[in-house]
Every structure is written in C-alpha cells, then in structure tokens.
C-alpha cells in the first residue's frame, strides 16, 4: 500500500535521528515524519501551483503546533481542545521560518505553507530542533523551488565544553542555550541565551553547531535522491521584465540617490515616495505593467542604498559604519510606576515600565513538559503611530512576541536569585518611535526600568543591532542599523549583554550564508557599540536602587515547619483568608514551608507575620504571654494566648487568694497576662494568672509561691471529666 515509503536513519549526537516519508500525509507536496528519541514531529509542505495576479511578495507561512496527546495530556479549559497558539508555539514557528525564507528563489511568488505537528514528546528531546529538521526535509522532497536543505541544532555549554543537542535536564546546567540553522556552506539563523559569555565562546558555539548538523544535511540529501518529487521550474525573468527594469533605472536612479541624501526619516520617506510616484506615473502613461514596476522599484531602491554605502562608507543618515546614534537615557519618568525608563537612540524610542508583584502574580504555563510558573515577564508592544502609520490595534502578533522574547532572553540571565528578591517582575515596553532595532532599545530600557524599580540585576544590560551589505566587490558591517538598512541589507545581527559578556545573540541572514570572517567582525564591532551604549545608559542610572518604590509591595519571607502549613491555611483556606482580609496583605505559601508576606504598609505586614507566627508557634514552659479570655467555666477560664492556641487557667491559678467564682476575677473578652506552668498528659496547656503581675507582666512566682495548695473542703473540681466536657464543647479548644 505504501509503495513510495522511504526511511533514512543516522546516529546524531549519541542519539538516533529518523526521517520517514511516503506513509503519512501523502497528498502534501512534501511530508516527513522526523524522530529523535521518542520525540516525533510530522512536517508538511504545500505550495500553490501559481502566484496570485499582481502579487509582489512571497507569501510563506509556517505553523508549529503541539498536540497535548503527544505528552499523554488532555487540554485544560472548558472546550478541552487545543486553542490559539501559545507563546512557545509562536516562537518556534518563527525559528522554522527564519532560516528557510531566504532559500526560496528571487521572484518566486507562489504561496507556500509549512506545518509542523508534534505527535510525541519524550520529555527529553525538545521538538523544536526536530521540527526544523523535518520541515527542511519536507521542502527538499516537495519539488517546490528551495535552495536547501537546512540543518539545525541546539548547542549547550556545560563545564567549559560544548554539548550538541543537550536534553531538557542537561539544559538546566548549561550556561548557554543556542539554536542555529544553516546550509552546508554557512549559518543562516542563530537564537540564544547566555550567561555573560565571551565573544570567543559564542563564536565557538556557532562553529561547533554548524559542524554538528552537517550529518543531518547529508541525510536529507540522500533521502531526496530516492524520494524527492520532480522539481518545479524556476521562475525566469521575462524579456519585458528586463526591459522594464532598465527603463526604471533610467527614470529613477538619479532622483532616488538624491532622495536618500535626506537624513531625517519622515522627510526621506516623503522624498523617496515622490520619486516612486513620478516613475510609476510615467510608466503607466507608457502602458507598462505597474504591479511589476512596483517590485522592480524596490530593487532599484536597494541597489542605490547598498552601493552608496560600499562606495562612500557613508550611510543613509550620514554616519560611518561604526558610529552609534545619539542616546538619551532617563529613569523615573512615571511617578506612580514601580520603575520606569525612557530610552531614546536616534529616531528609536522605548518607554519601559517595570511592575513588582508577588507569587500570586506569576504566570502559570501549561506546557507539554508540564506546568510551571514564570516570575519574569516582558511584553513588547509596537503601536502603528511609532512609524507614522495607521493600523489595526489588537493582540500581539508574531513579531511582537518574538521581539519581546529576545529582550527577555537578554535580561533573564541577570536576574537575582529568588531567595534574595522574592518578587514577580513584569516589564512592558511601549515602542513610541521606531527607526531601527526597537528590540535592542527594549533591552536597554528594560534594564534601566528594572534597576529604577530596585531589582538588583547583576549588571546593566544593553543591546545593539548590526547590519551587513555584501556584494561581489566587498562588504560592509554596519553598527546600530536603521530600519531601511535592515530592510535593504543582508543581515540582522543583534547582540545584547553586559560589560562582562554576551547574554543574548540573534542572527538572521537574508542571503545564502556569511563567512566566519564577517561574523567575527560583526561580533567585535557589536562589543564596541554595546560598551558605548552602556556608558550612555550609566548617565541615567549606574545601578539598581537600594530599595523598591514606596508604591511597590514589601515582601517579607519567613519559614514555618511543613507540618504547620495546614494550620496557617485552615480548613478550606479559612485562616489564610482571614489573615489577608483583616491585614490587607498578600500571603504566598510554598510546599517547603516558605511564606511570603507582601504589603505596601510595614504595619500591615508585621500584623500578618505576627499572626502567622502565633499560629505556628509552640507554647514554652515558663514563658509569659498576653492573652484573651474566650470562655469561663466553673473550674477556671480558657485563655487564647498564642495564635489560635488556648490554655486553661484553673480557678486555683486565677489569684493568690481563694476565688469563689471564676467570673469574680475574669469575664469573657478580658485581656490578661498568663504564664505557662505545665502540660497535662494529653498535651493541653496549663496557665497561671496569679504568678504574673497583671499590671506590669512581671513574673512574681517567688513572691507568691510556685503552687498554692487547694483549700480544705473545696469541692470545685476541674477534674478530667469536667475539663474534657468543657473542652469538647468549647469552640476554640486546641
């Protein structure tokens, strides 16, 4: 039945990688089942046979989706089925998209859709790498024009050694989490988080990873030799297109070059737009294909900008290739926020606001590997006004999720230990202006806002975006790129870190690959720019403030015995609710007995802490406590003296003289001072008032005698039977 079934198996990094085709999803142009260990991902590729008329872009969409059955789970929620993509699924979709997009031929406009579905997860091998490999293999077999295959790998750095595709458990010990993809010739994409590693270590990781996935590329080539479909014909430029391209250059090159001498973004866009409008009007009058002309105008624009940089060493805004735009760093710009910063670099600006919360504010994430809690969140927003446009306002798109995660990775290695700073931190970055690398502005602004909020980061963190112009006659690496240089260039290379080293590195190549020489120059130039930016940031704030803002909650951490946790919570949460409602605090209780009390008022926090300590404390023999009479009986009074704990003051211990009735000395609600004088055989507490000076609280045992004998003929018995009956009926008895 499965006549065209093919299978390729290789040993890879101490594990077995299997690529299968021809058995599942046979109607897709390309379908590969990729397996590493017991992690299995079904990857498919389908392309439209023709482009839509007038379409001037390449419509590629990549969807990575996780099915909860892959880990033997049922989805949460009311509908019990998978819903909108999670943040993780969105980020992995981008990981797959970024290295394959540059490998489709120029001029190819047919719609292509790539889908990766996780069918099995062994909770050891992360499916993202498996999905990247499987999608590349599916495209390679599909016949769709694709200059692959692409290999991918994860690199860890454990005890000074690189590790290829570390397991989920090994990644916990790694100082590096780096994912890269590329062809046999070079690297196309890098995404990473690092613990302040040097440039040399990071470059070594890229080299190690590139060598590590070469066997995977070879396996895909060998599979394609037997299983690939007939290749689609490559799009060839028509004679009319060649003629039109020459005509556009005649009409617009000179004016386009003049327009790009304007250094101010909005004025430059206006002048460039006027040139395009004039060229289109002329061509339309000549009867040319306007839709085709618009695409060719973009090529002319890129050609003018790129060659001018290579010829003169000067960029669009007049800078040389290494200079960073002017920077202004301000903190404390929002009076009621816990921490805020306005970071402006040239025409790019980020308003970053930090908010401190408690454990109740942590984000609960239900992933295939299990549920976990996240105490650091960074949300990036890119409103249309930041680029002088109108547009849809709604939930964040893939770009916003990706940029926010990049900044998150840069800051995450610098966070203080939870034991030292027990706060949940959320940072929101509002991009208020944009002309190049708002994600790196977010890194800088986030670092400043968190330090302004009193978060003790290890060091300040800054980021810079590098670009590349590469032609046959040479190349130029650009520091702190503009939006146009990103759009018209060959590389988007973002490096974030501290003065000590790199914390995050992201690279996207828009050409087939770059050389190690170019990558080394870019990293070294990025370090120079990063240190300059850190120096400018220090003018706004040199380090974390010594205390959190007055409006932020103050968190106090105490520890109680594990067997006392249920007493603090109470039946159905009654006790903990009473504490929070009456003191106005937030109380988080962990399984190990750690309790965090958060309040904006020191007095409120102390009330809650004293309440909790009273609940978990054990009465000590000979210690004097303040208490409240909660019930009187014939033989004595019950006194609540330590949290919810009660003890009995026998009638003979109420006063040093003979007492006829308990109510002659105390009544319910009276505040008294008592001393613990013993415990009965059942552990019940015996208290005394007569040996304590009720005015001063002083111990007067020596003056009155340790024990007063019961008067002869006194038939008032607080014996076992009566006391047991009273304790049974007494609602607060312990």
> What is the pLDDT at residue 211?
96
CB 678 within 8 A of CB 707: no
- Asked if residue 514 and residue 423 are part of one domain, the reply reads yes
Based on the domain organization, do 559 and 704 belong to the same domain? no
What the block records as the tokens of 306 is 């790129």
Say what the pLDDT of residue 718 is.
Answer: 46
Check whether 355 has a pLDDT greater than 60.
yes
How confident is the model at residue 414, as a pLDDT?
A: 97
For residues 310 and 489, is the Cβ–Cβ distance under 8 A? no
523 lies in the same domain as 666: no
Tell whether 188 and 39 lie within a shared domain: yes
Structure tokens at 219: 């396996």
Query: What confidence score (pLDDT) does residue 395 get?
Result: 86
The percentage of the chain sitting over the pLDDT mark of 70, rounded to a whole number, equals 96
According to the model, what pLDDT value does residue 510 have? 86
> If you average pLDDT over residues 459-467, what whole number do you get?
95
pLDDT tens digits for 483-534?
A: 888 888 889 999 999 999 999 999 998 887 778 888 899 999 999 999 999 9
pLDDT-derived band at 295 (thresholds 50, 70, 90) equals confident
**pLDDT 10s digits, 612-652:** 888 888 888 999 989 999 999 999 999 998 877 889 999 99
| 142 plus 277 within the same structural domain | no
Please say if the pLDDT value at position 206 is more than 90.
Answer: yes
Q: Crossing angle of helices 239-259/265-285, nearest 10°?
A: 140
CATH of the domain at 277: 1.10.10.400
Give the C-alpha separation, 294 to 280, whole Å: 8
- Assigned domain for 543 exists: no
Residue 379 resides in a domain: yes
pTM: 0.84
- Asked if residue 234 is part of any domain, the answer here is no
Give the percent of the chain with pLDDT over 90: 63
Q: Note whether 500 and 455 are same-domain residues.
A: yes
At residue 617, the pLDDT reads 83
Burial of residue 695, with CB atoms counted within 10 A of its CB: 0-12 exposed, 13-18 middle, 19 or more buried: exposed
Query: Which two structure tokens, joined as six digits, stand for 104?
Result: 């489709």
Residue 713 has a pLDDT of 45
Q: Are 9 and 114 within 8 A, CB to CB?
A: no
Strand partners, 189: 181, 508
In a domain, 547, yes or no: no
- Is residue 708 very low, low, confident or very high in pLDDT (cuts 50, 70, 90)? low
Q: What is the mean pLDDT of residues 592-609?
A: 89
Whether residue 319 lies inside any domain: the answer is no
Q: Could you count the other beta carbons within 10 Å of the beta carbon of residue 215? A: 15
The residue segments making up the domain with residue 696 are: 624-729
382/441 same-domain check:
yes
- CA–CA dist 218, 216 (Å, integer): 5
**CA-angle at 448, arms to 447 and 450, nearest 5°:** 70
Place 440 in a pLDDT band, splitting at 50, 70 and 90: very high
Q: Which of 445-459, 503-517, 647-661 has the highest mean pLDDT?
A: 445-459
We report the CATH number of the domain holding residue 580 as 3.30.1370.10
Task: Give the other-Cβ count within 10 Å of 575's Cβ.
Answer: 19
Using CA atoms, how far residue 557 sits from 306, 593, 599, in Å, is 58, 10, 12
> Are residue 14 and residue 158 in the same domain, yes or no?
yes
Which strands sit side by side in the sheet containing 594-599, from one edge to the other? Answer: 554-559, 594-599, 586-589
Residue 726's pLDDT band (cuts 50, 70, 90): low
- CATH number of the domain that residue 635 is part of: 2.40.50.140
pLDDT at position 689 is: 94
pLDDT surpassing 70 at residue 727: no
In total, how many domains does the chain have?
A: 5
Residue owning tokens 């302040």: 196
The per-residue b/e assignment along 66-77, b for 16 or more CB within 10 angstroms, e otherwise, is: bbbebbeeeeee
Query: Using one digit for the tens of pLDDT, what is the confidence trace for 468-479?
Result: 998 888 899 999
Q: Is 393 exposed, middle or buried (0-12, 13-18, 19+ CB in 10 A)?
A: exposed
Q: Would you say the C-alpha torsion 73, 77, 83, 86 has a positive or negative sign? A: negative
Minimal CA–CA distance to 126: which of 81, 95, 80, 160?
95
| Beta-carbon contacts of residue 496 (< 8 Å; ≥ 6 apart) | 406, 407, 409, 410, 440, 443, 461, 462, 463, 464, 502, 503, 504, 505, 530
**Is the torsion defined by CA of 115, 119, 123, 129 positive or negative?**
negative
Q: In this structure, are 115 and 207 located in the same domain?
A: yes
Confidence of residue 416 (pLDDT cuts 50, 70, 90): very high
Over 60: is that where the pLDDT of 87 sits?
yes
Average pLDDT over residues 575-584: 91
List CB contacts of 538: < 8 A, sequence separation 6 or more. 460
Find the CATH number of the domain harbouring 345. 3.30.230.70
What confidence tens digit (pLDDT) does each residue in 533-543 have?
A: 999 999 999 88
Say yes or no: 630 and 528 in one domain: no
Q: Please indicate, yes or no, if residue 161 is contained in any of the structural domains.
A: yes
Q: Read off the tokens for 126.
A: 């992360």
- Whether residue 717 is predicted with pLDDT greater than 80 in this model: the reply is no
User: Are both 418 and 560 inside the same structural domain?
Assistant: no
Give the residue, 164 or 311, on which the prediction is more confident. Answer: 164
Within a domain: residue 174? yes
Position 320 in a domain: no
* Mean per-residue pLDDT, 273-279: 91
- Hey, which of 221-230, 654-663, 692-701 has the most confident mean pLDDT? 221-230
Q: 1: pLDDT confidence band, cut at 50, 70 and 90?
A: confident
Residue 707 has pLDDT above 80, yes or no: no
DSSP state of 136: H
Question: What tens digit of pLDDT does each residue of 142-171 get?
Answer: 999 999 899 999 999 999 999 999 999 999
My answer on whether 255 and 333 are in the same domain is no
Query: Over the chain, what is the mean pLDDT?
Result: 90
């Amino acid at each position: 039945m499965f006549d065209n079934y093919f299978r390729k198996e290789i040993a890879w990094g101490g594990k077995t990688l299997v690529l299968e085709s021809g058995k599942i999803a046979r109607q897709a142009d390309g379908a590969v089942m990729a397996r590493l260990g017991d992690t299995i991902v079904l990857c498919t590729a389908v392309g439209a046979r023709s482009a839509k008329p007038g379409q001037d872009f390449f419509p590629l969409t990549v969807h990575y989706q996780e099915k909860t059955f892959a880990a033997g789970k049922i989805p949460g929620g009311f509908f019990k089925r998978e819903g909108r993509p999670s943040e993780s699924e969105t980020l992995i979709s981008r990981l797959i998209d970024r290295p394959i997009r540059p490998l489709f031929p120029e001029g190819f406009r047919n719609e292509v859709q790539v889908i990766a579905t996780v069918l099995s997860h062994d909770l050891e091998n992360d499916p993202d790498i498996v999905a990247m490999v499987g999608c590349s293999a599916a495209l390679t077999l599909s016949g769709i024009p694709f200059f692959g295959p692409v290999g991918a790998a994860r690199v860890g750095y454990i005890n000074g050694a690189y590790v290829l595709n570390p397991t989920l458990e090994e990644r916990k010990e790694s100082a590096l989490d780096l994912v890269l993809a590329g062809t046999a010739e070079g690297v196309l994409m890098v995404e990473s988080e690092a613990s302040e590693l040097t440039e040399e270590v990071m470059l070594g990781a890229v080299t190690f990873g590139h060598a590590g996935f070469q066997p995977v590329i070879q396996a895909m080539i060998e599979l394609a030799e037997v299983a690939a479909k007939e290749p689609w014909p490559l799009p060839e430029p028509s004679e009319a297109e060649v003629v039109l391209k020459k005509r556009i250059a005649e009409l617009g090159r000179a004016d386009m070059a003049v327009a790009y001498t304007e250094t101010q973004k909005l004025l430059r866009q206006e002048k460039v737009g006027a040139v395009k409008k004039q060229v289109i009007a002329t061509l339309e009058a000549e009867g040319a294909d306007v839709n085709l002309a618009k695409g060719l105008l973009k090529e002319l624009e890129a050609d003018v900008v790129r060659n001018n940089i290579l010829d003169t060493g000067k960029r669009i805004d007049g800078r040389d290739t290494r200079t960073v735009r002017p920077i202004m760093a301000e903190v404390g710009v929002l009076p009621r926020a816990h921490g805020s910063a306005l970071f402006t670099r040239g025409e790019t600006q980020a308003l970053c606001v930090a908010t401190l919360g408690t454990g109740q504010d942590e984000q609960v994430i239900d992933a295939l590997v299990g549920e976990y809690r996240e105490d650091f969140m960074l949300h990036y927003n890119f409103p249309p006004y930041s680029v002088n446009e109108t547009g849809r306002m709604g939930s964040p798109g893939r770009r916003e999720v990706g940029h926010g995660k990049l900044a998150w990775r840069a800051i995450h290695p610098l966070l203080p230990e939870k034991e030292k700073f027990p706060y949940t931190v959320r940072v929101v970055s509002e991009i208020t202006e944009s002309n190049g690398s708002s994600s790196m502005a977010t890194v800088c602004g986030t670092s400043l806002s968190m330090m302004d909020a009193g978060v003790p980061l290890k060091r300040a963190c800054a980021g810079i975006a590098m670009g590349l112009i590469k032609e046959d006659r040479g190349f130029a690496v650009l520091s702190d790129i503009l939006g146009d240089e990103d759009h018209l260039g060959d590389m988007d290379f973002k490096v974030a870190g501290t003065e000590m080293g790199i914390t995050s590195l992201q690279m996207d190549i828009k050409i087939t690959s770059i050389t190690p020489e170019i990558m080394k120059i870019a990293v070294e130039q990025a370090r120079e720019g990063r240190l300059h930016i850190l120096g400018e940031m220090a003018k706004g704030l040199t380090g974390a403030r010594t205390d959190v803002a007055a409006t932020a909650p103050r968190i106090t951490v105490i520890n109680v015995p594990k067997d006392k946790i249920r007493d603090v919570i109470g039946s159905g949460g009654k006790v903990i609710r009473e504490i929070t409602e009456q003191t106005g605090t937030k109380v988080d209780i962990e399984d190990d007995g750690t309790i965090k009390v958060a309040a904006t008022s020191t007095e409120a926090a102390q009330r809650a802490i004293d309440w909790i300590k009273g609940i978990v404390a054990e009465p000590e023999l000979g210690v004097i406590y303040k208490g409240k009479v909660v019930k009187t009986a014939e033989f004595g009074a019950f006194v609540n003296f330590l949290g919810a704990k009660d003890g009995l003051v026998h009638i003979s211990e109420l006063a040093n003289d003979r007492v006829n009735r308990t109510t002659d000395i105390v009544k319910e609600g009276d505040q008294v001072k008592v001393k613990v004088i013993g415990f009965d055989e059942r552990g019940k507490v015996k208290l005394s008032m007569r040996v304590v000076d009720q005015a001063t609280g002083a111990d007067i045992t020596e003056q009155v005698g340790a024990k007063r004998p019961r008067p002869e003929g006194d038939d008032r018995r607080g014996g076992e039977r009566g006391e047991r009956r009273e304790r049974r009926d007494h609602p607060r008895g312990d």
